[in-house]
Amino acid sequence: MMTAVHPMPRRGRFAAGMLMGLSFLAGAAHASEAGSIKAGREAAQSCAACHGAKGNSNNPAFPSLAGQPATYLASQLTAYRDGKRENAIMAGQAAGLSDQQIQDIAAYYAAQERKVASPADEGSALGADLYHHGRDNVAACAACHHSEGHGNQPAGFPALRGLSAGYVAQSLKDYRSGTRAHGQAELMIPLAAELSDAEIDALAAHIASLD
């Protein structure tokens, strides 16, 4: 007797694909939900005015996007579009993007090389110490964001090198206040909640000096 063949649930398909190893990786590049770098380059043309050519920004108000994990970029863009990460400028930029365009743009920026044009001259000894060693209730930033701020692509942890002190400090305060609470923010909120303003400024100064 024949039984109807049901499509495997997503999770099942993923697990089965993992077992197939390389053939799965090759197949993933063609899966419809995966981002297309070529389509992303087209869709990202309007972004360059603020985020710089190929996602390397020279303006401290606009974070560099080059080399960020695609999962991180897609998560942030979706959050701006859906009002979960509040920013008037980015809400407008993301408003018209489809899920597929978000995946394409994320794939494009993830594939670009991150370049730090002008690291800050002045670092911070306190910031460097906290970054590398943490303290009670504050995990070392380097454990997730890499000792030189390169982030962790497979885990989706963003790169920090090339971000301005002002942007980093604002981000840490947004995690501390719970304003940024979507995506993987649960990994940042408990430790940001422990940081004083002085520690946030010190960390931001150290991160802005990474080259």
Nearer to ligand HEC, 17 or 100 (CB): 100
- Exposed/middle/buried for 4, CB within 10 Å: 0-12, 13-18, 19+? exposed
At 5, is the secondary structure helix, strand, or coil? coil
Site for ligand HEC contains 141 (CB under 6 A) = yes
Cα distances (angstroms) measured from residue 106 to each of 17, 39, 117, 176, 193: 23, 10, 22, 26, 29
Helix, strand or coil, per DSSP, at residue 6: coil
Residues 2-41 touching ligand HEC, rule: CB under 6 A, are none
Site for ligand HEC in 159-198 (CB under 6 A): 160, 163, 168, 170-172, 180, 183-185, 187-188, 191
The 8-class DSSP code of residue 112 comes to S
Distances (CA, A) of 100 to 22, 25, 85: 24, 19, 19
**CB-wise, 35 or 183, nearer to ligand HEC?**
183
Q: What is the DSSP letter of 46?
A: G
Dist CA 76 CA 9 (whole Å): 26
Identify the residue whose tokens are 């297309």. Answer: 36
Site string for ligand HEC, 99-118 (x = CB under 6 A): ------x-------------
Q: Which is nearer to ligand HEC, 20 or 125 (CB)?
A: 125
CB of 38 to ligand HEC, least distance (A): 15
The residue among 34 and 139 lying less far from ligand HEC, judged by its C-beta, is 139
Burial annotation 157-193 (CB, 10 A radius, 16+ → b, else e): bbbbbbbbbebbbebbbbbbeeebeebebeebeebbe
| Binding to ligand HEC in span 44-103, by CB under 6 A | 44, 46-47, 49-51, 61-63, 65, 73, 75-77, 85, 87, 89-90, 93
Least spacing, CB of residue 109 vs ligand HEC, in Å? 7
Size of interface with ligand HEC, in residues (CB under 6 A): 43
Query: Which stretches of the chain bind ligand HEC, using CB under 6 A?
Result: 44, 46-47, 49-51, 61-63, 65, 73, 75-77, 85, 87, 89-90, 93, 105, 130, 138-139, 141, 143-145, 157-158, 160, 163, 168, 170-172, 180, 183-185, 187-188, 191, 203
